[in-house]
Amino acid sequence: MFPKNMMLFLTGLTVSLAVASPAMAYVGPGAGLSVVGALVGVVMAVGAALVFIVGWPVRRMMRRRKLASERSSQDEAGSSPAR
């Protein structure tokens, strides 16, 4: 039914789960705060990366639009008749 390797794996898993005893250890609040702080740092880093990746083309487009409007305003000022 099962291959020999799978049967050996399941037997080993069953034995290890049956023999395992609970760890008698105390995890204080400092460890939880460290995990939360690391998670917040990773989320902020990913968010900043996304903002910069999306923001770069937007800034470039705005800069090109501003230069085009400045050129058109200079062309209009230069082509107007003198008074």
Residues 17-56 have pLDDT tens digits of: 888 777 788 878 888 899 999 999 999 999 999 999 999 9
Average pLDDT, the chain: 86
pLDDT at 37 (0 to 100): 95
pLDDT at 21 (0 to 100): 79
Q: How far apart are CA 8 and CA 2, in angstroms?
A: 10
Question: Within 13 Å, how many C-alpha atoms sit on residue 55's CB side?
Answer: 6
Structure tokens of 12?
């080993």
pLDDT at 62 (0 to 100): 92
pTM of the model: 0.49
